[in-house]
Chain A
Amino acid sequence: MIQLIRQRTLASFLSLVGLIVLVFFLSRLTGDPTNLFLPIDATQEMKDQFRALHGYDDPILEQFGRYVWDVLHLDFGDSVRRARPAIGVVLEAFTWTLRLALITMTLVTISAIIVGSLAAFRAGGFFDRFASLLSLIGASAPDFWIAIVAIVIFAVTLGWVPTSGTGSVWHWILPVGVLFIRPFGLIVQVVRGSMITALSSAYVKTARAKGVKNTPIIFVHTLRNAMLPVITVMGDQAAALLNGAVIVETIFGFPGVGKLMIDSILQRDFNVVLAAIMVTAIAIFIMNLLIDMAYAALDPRIRY
């Protein structure tokens, strides 16, 4: 296990370095933020001064060397747009995203496993059809539409929850609800498929023959075996959430890292883009490691 962690850390570190190099040079290929930061009729003098102040007039390799040196000293540079340390801006946003992802994925996991397992148990029955229909709608509905409709119904018409923003626990209901739908739909389908396979295996027949009741068959014997593909898909979905739920963040005014990244790319706020990529990449690396460990825990045949 220790060896797994060591290997993965090394591999992830190398890909992180590659990613930073790539993003650093690619983003600078598009130009610098001068024209976007300054007003459109700024004088050439103002532009030159801005470039000198932020070092955009230095050769690109020199800029890269300086960046690497600073990062090695844990200085990720300032956000041009916000005039404060980029890493602070990113970590602030990332905590929101992390909480949103954790809450959503916990709810998705619990409910998708229950619904998917029950649907699989009587495959083709009423509950199965109903759950499949719901999950297909969920997996295919566009979330910007769901979000706006949810605001109109639950916030404006019924007045149960706030339209958007942050501040109280009630503010989380709509964003989490909207984010919940798609991974839920997807994972229900995966759980169902995987459970159907597991339920038709020989050990289930044996258990039934012994007279084991349905509930322990589903939740004790089969579920554990059916979980491996489910965990893989969950990892994918969680990674997508950690990258930021741009649409939900935009609509609900949620200060997460997805919207921050998009805004920073559009504004060419390079330091924020790089810091955001580093933070999310590290988070996803940690998550992948946890998933690998979960494989081993669920299936004793898997050894690292």
Chain B
Amino acid sequence: MLRKLLLVGTALAATGVQPALAQSDTAVTIVLNEEVDLMEPCMATRSNIGRVIMQNISETLTELDVRGDAGLMPRLAESWEDMGDGTWRFHLREGVTFSDGSAFDAADVQHSFERAFSDQISCETPRYFAGMELSFNVVDDHTIDITSDPAQPILPLLMTLVTMVPSETPVEFVREPVGTGPYVLSEWNVGQNITLTRRDDYWGEAPEVTEATYVVRSESAVRAAMVEAGEADIAPTVSEIEGRTADKNFAYPNSETLYLRLDHSMEPLSDIRVREALNLAIDREAFVGTLLPQGTEPAVAMVPPTTLGWNDEIEVWDYNPDRARELLEEARADGVDVDQQIQIVGRTNNYPNATEVYEAIQAMLTDVGFNVDLQMYEVAEFENIYSKPFPEDRLPQLVGAMHDNSRGDPVFSMFFKYHTDGTQSGLSDPRIDSLIEEATAASGEEREALWSELFAYIHDEAIVDVLLFHMVGFARVDEGIEWTPTIATNSQLQLSEISFN
């Protein structure tokens, strides 16, 4: 029996049953962690979809340089200019064709917007243009004026979020996206794999990768094993354990920021001394390299350091439990109900060790005299607590949440998180409101200075929340592949940036 088994084993090995996909030298396999449920260009800002189609199949007018410091770069628009009165003129690249053969022109730009904003389809795009009325004027085939009311100084930056589709695209979710990008969807076996093939008639430089196959494995150990066994070339997200052990791994800041959102409408969180005590009571350094991976950075702002207006002068809160106790006593002496139970709310599996992190915070807060309860929720229930309208009969809450902004400008974060009308804002501060409004309407250096001022005010003066960490991600890459993750790897993975050793 044993001999037979051995024979079968040898036979298997000898026939080269190697799964190692018979690929050509220029094909890659990428193993993702989330199912790709749609292949719809107007949903490309959603990370699971964007990683496959953003700039690979569908392109945008402009592109943010996340590898260097070139800032906003041309893509389908060669240049743009501010015409005044809220109008921006975009000069489109000539000689660009969609994968269906049709030429790309200004009418396609207009259709792409109108389709994404239609009420017949639930695209993600409109969220970035909330409160703006857009109008279009096709000047000629390769020139289009886009007017925003009120004027939008960063309209060219917002163009990095709108993917272009041909005028013929119906106003419903498509399953075979047509784009101007260097790749075309050639195969989609739902639940099994997606294959993109390089186009011969792409307008730009031909990328080295000729074919990319995407597979999905929700288990991190399996993703890492696939790269190790040679079945996959890139696993953009693996867990810390797998990310550390092999040779070609990367730890990279992934643009996620972890923080505790505080509810200012209730005692004791309405008192600034209490909020300062919360910040002083948490030993941020103690988490790094223990519950959270090495490379995790204590945070002083809601956005990562590569964002416009980043303020170098803000310093991370010291760990000072004695001072925290004093502040609580001062507040108590003034009649603030510091013994009121407060509640930390977390989302299960939001990130590795999420529950343990909140338990540690709970212990640290209890240590200085807070009365803290901890509740972990599934995503749907968590969103109900995190976003307005907040539940009526709640305790004063510290909501542990992660926020992702790799888009280069704080505007994508600050209104939602800090403005009185922001969906996830737990506060109302007229100074913050006006700074956000001014910065949103400003451009250039003035914009930068206003954001910078806002960061300092939020962190040092108003102490509105407990900013915790800028998180890191881990990727595993096969040795034959030249590719490094970036701050935007969560949301896009451009195949043209991959080369071979």
Residues in A lying within 8 Å of B, measured CB to CB: 30-31, 35-43, 45-46, 49-50, 52-53, 81-84, 89, 92-93, 96, 148, 151-152, 155-156, 158-168, 170-171, 250-253, 255, 260, 263, 266, 268
Contacts and interface: CB of A to CB of B under 8 A. Distances in A.
A252 B218 CA distance: 9
Contacts of B35: 263
B130 interface: yes
B358 interface: no
Nearest to A160: B12
A50 B175 CA distance: 20
Nearest to B40: A83
Given A155-B225, A161-B17, A250 B387 contact: no
A93 B380 CA distance: 25
Contact of A160 (B9, B191, B379): B9
A145 to B, nearest CB: 11
Contacts of A50: 122
A255 B190 contact: yes
Given A39-B124, A43-B126, A255 B191 contact: yes
B217 A35 contact: no
B378 interface: yes
Chain B contact residues, majority secondary structure: loop
A84 B124 CA distance: 18
Interface string B377-397: 011100110110000000000
Given A250-B218, A266-B378, 8 more contacts: A38-B127, A41-B416, A46-B126, A82-B37, A92-B191, A155-B225, A163-B229, A253-B222
B217 A164 contact: yes
B383 A40 contact: yes
Given A35-B384, A40-B387, A170 B126 contact: no
Nearest to A36: B380
Contact of A161 (B19, B173, B379, B380): B19
Interface of B: 9, 12-13, 17-19, 35, 37-38, 40, 45-46, 119-122, 124, 126-127, 130, 172-173, 175, 190-193, 215-219, 221-222, 225-226, 228-229, 231, 378-380, 383-384, 386-387, 416, 423-424
Contact of A83 (B119, B124, B127, B173): B173
A155 B231 CA distance: 10
B415 to A, nearest CB: 8
7 contacts: A40-B387, A83-B38, A83-B40, A83-B172, A159-B13, A160-B17, A255-B190
B99 to A, nearest CB: 20
Contacts of B12: 160-161
A146 to B, nearest CB: 13
Given A163-B229, A266-B379, A31 B384 contact: yes
Contacts of B18: 159
B222 A164 contact: yes
A253 B122 contact: no
B228 A84 contact: no
Contacts of B217: 164-165, 251, 253
A163 B231 contact: yes
Given A148-B221, A253-B216, A164 B387 contact: no
**Which one of B120, B122, B190 has the greatest number of beta carbons of chain A within 10 Å?**
B122
B146 to A, nearest CB: 20
A156 B19 CA distance: 11
**Which one of B46, B126, B380, B383 has the greatest number of beta carbons of chain A within 10 Å?**
B380
Nearest to A31: B380
A168 B380 CA distance: 37
A268 B380 CA distance: 9
B175 A84 contact: yes
B404 to A, nearest CB: 10
A38 B122 contact: yes
Contacts of B38: 81-83
Contacts of B13: 158-160
A172 to B, nearest CB: 12
A296 B157 CA distance: 73
B379 A36 contact: yes
Contacts of A253: 215-218, 222
A39 B216 CA distance: 22
B424 A163 contact: no
A280 B39 CA distance: 28
Contact of A35 (B121, B191, B383): B383
A41 B380 contact: no
Contacts of B215: 165, 253
B134 to A, nearest CB: 14
A53 B222 CA distance: 38
Nearest to A96: B191
Q: Which 3 A-B pairs have the closest CB atoms?
A: A255-B191, A162-B19, A83-B173
B455 to A, nearest CB: 19
A170 B229 contact: no
**Which one of B9, B225, B378 has the greatest number of beta carbons of chain A within 10 Å?**
B225
Given A42-B127, A162-B19, A252-B222, A81 B37 contact: yes
Contacts of B383: 35-36, 40
Contacts of B379: 36, 266
B119 A53 contact: yes
A8 B219 CA distance: 41
B147 to A, nearest CB: 20
A77 B438 CA distance: 47
